[in-house]
Structure 1
Amino acid sequence: MKQISVVLLFFFSSLTFGQLKTYSFEEVDVLQKSDPKPVFIFIHTDWCKVCHLMKNTTLKNKRIIKKLNNDFYTIMFNGESKEDIIFHNQKYVYKPSGPTTGTHELAYEIGMLDGQLAFPTTCILDKNYDIVFQFNMSLSKNELMMILNKTD
């Protein structure tokens, strides 16, 4: 019986080991008040193949996950989300651009680089929500680790 308990404990602990902890914008607002940290935001869409590639490679790397979980609040943000978001005391909404298309205005607010929004966009905010890093292409695990080490 003791052996089965150990096996079950190992099994269930392995389900959460190495998981990237993600938060909503609203949760980060609350957490910042008691434990300020930089905010890592990955802006993606459902249709973006490069976004899916980065999510399934770079953002599944054990070293990246450990660094993000320990030193950042991570937000995975669909730039085409239709939900209203209140972040840093401001309300952001989805802006339609056609009958079935559109982009969330918060994606524009934090993801615009040189007047354009592209997917994926990686954005890092400091503890005061100032943008300290933006990049609108895929990042390898080594590139991202170097950036995370410079911005925490």
Structure 2
Amino acid sequence: MNGGVDSLLSEEVIDLTRGPSGLGFNIVGGTDQQYISNDTGIYVSRIKEDGAAALDGRLQEGDKILAVNGKELKNMLHQHVVDLFRTAGDKVSLKVQHRLLPQNGPSSHRGDGDPGGLPLAVILVPGLAIVAAAVWAFVRYRQRV
């Protein structure tokens, strides 16, 4: 999603029935409020406890919503998508894109471009500390000689 190749994407259609508190999730994104740089998509920002989405269990925070009742959400203003949800009726069909993290090895949040999944800093910082200690010890040794 941000250029990293640390995750796989899968699509799923999720049918929800609107409950007393609506569909039970919040969204972010749109052409006027990009949530991810250079991506005008609509994303789930929060799943409300005991809402329709939470009770169903398949929709997750961070999922990208591709379509609502068959209507693609490409290049839409945020408010237009909100209005689309409000007028979608009691039975709402969502086409969503899930981001699946690798099953083996460490996973990283939002990807960082490191194929191993570990942030580069996790490797570099201890390595730099060891190098700095070795240089300091060498300089101290040379001062004694």
TM-score under structure 2 length normalisation = 0.24
| Larger relative helix fraction | 1
Looking at CA atoms only, which structure, 1 or 2, has the larger radius of gyration? 2
